[in-house]
Structure 1
Amino acid sequence: MNREKVLSIRDLSISFQTAAGAVNAIRGVKLDLYKGETLAIVGESGSGKSVTVKAIMGILSGNGQVTSGTIDFTYKRGEETVHQDLLKLTKREMRRRINGKRIAMVFQDPMTSLNPTMPIGKQIMEGMRCHYKTPKEEAYKKAVNLLTMVGITEPEKRMRCYPHQLSGGMRQRVVIAIALSCDPEVLICDEPTTALDVTIQARILELIREIQKNTGISVIYITHDLGVVAKVADYVAVMYAGKIVEKGLAEEIFYDPRHPYTWGLLSAMPDLDASDEVLYTIPGSPFNLLNKGKGDAFADRNAYALAIDYRLEPPMFQVTDTHYAATWLLHKNAPPTPMPKELKARILRMRKEAD
């Protein structure tokens, strides 16, 4: 199958200057996104998921600095194919040429994305008017169509509403409509359903999948919820302490995980069929990113850590053509270490349910 690469991140490292010193938030990230596919980036809070996508959007905070790497974005400009390293663009160039126009982002809390003093219709039209100089009447019609597409009833009436007059689910749909208004090639969703109840969450996920099917847009999902990942992702990248520790097809990550951290994340998912009375938690605290210590960042929390984990950081080992994991357990000289029995039983149940 000939897959078309849209985004290619190579050796991305980002640090933040703080009063306590330099925080090494992103450490050598390598990721690819293909046309029409969904990549989910998962991991606990502070693992570097949001910082990675903020670097793509060029919206890192003032104390953030990209210390190495490239973010190559491939897009069509008429008949011409353009390859652009986004890190070489100024903030002004990013806003004029990329943000909203070619790469759009849906944030976690719609109230921080919407202007409370402006009717939502005007906010949807703003990007079209700014980037493409779309005539007002044409922009209005497209905005009404977008509201219909994201499932908002009485769209013409809603065009005149202010954000506070809408429910949380409707506000999030409006934010998605704004993100889609300029027909971007890439949509980044940063935990877009966290603040919503379960039924609205399911509708928003279904909506994004439907839009993707109809438009062929590429989607990056940022989440810590593996239940969301199972519903939406083609590919999954698991992040820990600013690094990708495992990546592969969604089926490979869910049914054949190889990294002990991924084992922990899957074991910590609530499961009504599990016999355990206590929900599993990964022991210890997240790695301190001010630290520049030797070895694997996950070693102190890893029940399966080997002596080498405390001395050397593991490279990415290849499991299949699409599946990689950074753990010394995959080294040819490592002792055989099967995944926990409880997790194996859970995966068998997940497979059964999926079938």
Structure 2
Amino acid sequence: MEKKEEILRVRNLDISFETTAGVVNAVRGVNLTVNRGETVAIVGESGSGKSVSAKAIMGILAKNGTIDRGQITFSYYRNPEERVTREILQMKKEEIRRHINGKRIAMVFQDPMTSLNPLMPVGKQIMEGMIWHYHTPKEEAYKKALELMKLVGITDAEKRIKNYPHQLSGGMRQRIVIAIALACDPELLICDEPTTALDVTIQSKILELIQEIQKKRQLSVIYITHDLGVVAKVADYVNVMYAGKIVESGTVEDVFYDPCHPYTWGLLSAMPDLGTDDERLYTIPGSPPNLLHKVTGDAFAPRNKYALNIDSRLEPPMFKISETHSAATWLLHPKAPKVDMPPELRDRIERMKKEGGIA
């Protein structure tokens, strides 16, 4: 088995935010690994800490955010022969801007209009990073911007390069944002709900586009989403996040075909299913905890009908299920009673397997 080349390692990351209501412990002990050329998905409900974790990796946390502990190690090639490893949390903001942000790690946000400058033609916005990071001559940057626009599927690039963001459709604007993200040949692309605001056909085109570019460039991708349908299409590895913690982690097959955490059961059960006559959509009862208050025990316990007594007292560790798969639930403890996933979900997984894979 060939050895994987690790480019990003996040260990024991804790992040809190100072708010008028008090301190919110938004991220609690997150561990994450990304290898070269692979796609890692972080999935969970809104407010679970997915985007905050990504912003910490980019060094762009909001002013009221504090990293209380943890390590974020990033490895990249300074040139084809020389590989450098940096500890991002020990770098100054200016260093991160010059050496990491946009250059080696780039981010595609949910709403293209928040990433684009309304007063600048889109071509100039694609050129900006190349000129800033690499001092690329204007003419060369212009040519590369045209190439990137064609690469992301914008027809009539010569004409569109002079357009302002408001002159383009939502799908085109998102393509421009992807072109900007790719302009400096980053090694890691973080996509934060990159298709949420788009209609379904454009959504799948954007996902295919990112996958094509990934193959061409050996790019590593982190996908942040609440949509398991997207995860099934794009991910190699999946991290399920709940209340600031990763509660299940594994290959896409592990998590979709053999889910072990009751929260993952709930997420999978809540996906629309065309294979059944039941028109009702399952929803997980209750709502996530308020992270202004200290979480005692398992944060998911109040919403978990399979919760054990210990769940209200002690936080479960990550139990190893296989080499690639682990989950933080006391149900995996050797002394725990045997609890199987809901039969409707088991039937659904069998159907998914029969239909020939998850992607």
Query: In the TM superposition, what whole-angstrom CA distance separates every residue of 1:282-341 from its partner, at most 9, and x where no partner exists?
Result: 011111101213210000000100001011000000011000000000000001101000
Q: 2:170 is matched with which residue?
A: 168
SS for the counterpart of 1:303 is: coil
Q: Given the alignment, which residue of 307, 310, 331 partners 2:312?
A: 310
Aligned partners of 1:167, 1:259: CA distance in 2, in Å?
A: 40
CA deviation profile, 1:90-140 (whole Å, cap 9, x unmatched): 221111111000000000000110001100110000000000000111111
Output the CA distance in 1 between the equivalents of 2:258 and 2:346. Answer: 9
* Post-superposition offset of 1:224: 0.1
Tell me which of 57, 80, 83 is aligned to 2:82. 80
CA RMSD of aligned residues (A): 0.8
Please tell me the residue identity of whatever aligns with 1:286: P
Q: TM-score, normalised by structure 2?
A: 0.98
Distance 1:293 1:141, change over 3 A: closer
Q: Using the alignment, how far apart are the partners of 1:258 and 1:275 within structure 2?
A: 26
Matched, 1:123 2:125: yes
| Alpha-carbon distance in 1 for matches of 2:146, 2:167 | 17
Q: Tell me how far 1:207 sits from its aligned partner.
A: 0.2
Alignment correspondent of 1:104: 106
CA shift for structure 1 position 237: 0.2
* Distance (Å, rounded) in 2 between the aligned partners of 1:146 and 1:298: 44
Kindly provide the amino acid, as one letter, of the partner of residue 262 in structure 1: T
**Gaps spanning 5+ residues in structure 1: where?**
none
- The corresponding residue for 2:47 is 46
**Counterpart secondary structure, 1:354:** coil
Tell me, what secondary structure is at the counterpart of 2:275?
Answer: coil
Counterpart of 1:11?
Answer: 12
* Amino acid corresponding to residue 226 of structure 1 in structure 2: L
**Aligned structure 1 segments of 4 or more residues deviating by more than 4 angstroms:** none
Q: CA deviation at 1:354?
A: 2.2
Give, as a single letter, the amino acid of the residue that structure 2 aligns with 1:53. Answer: A
Change (3 A) 1:176 1:293: closer
Please say if 1:33 is aligned against 2:39. no
Offset at 1:223?
0.1
Give % identity.
Answer: 71
- TM-score (structure 1 length as normaliser): 0.99
Partner-residue secondary structure (3-state), 1:207: helix
> What are the residue-to-residue correspondences of 1:122-201 with 2, within 5 Å?
122-201=124-203
2:213 to 181, 202, 211: 211
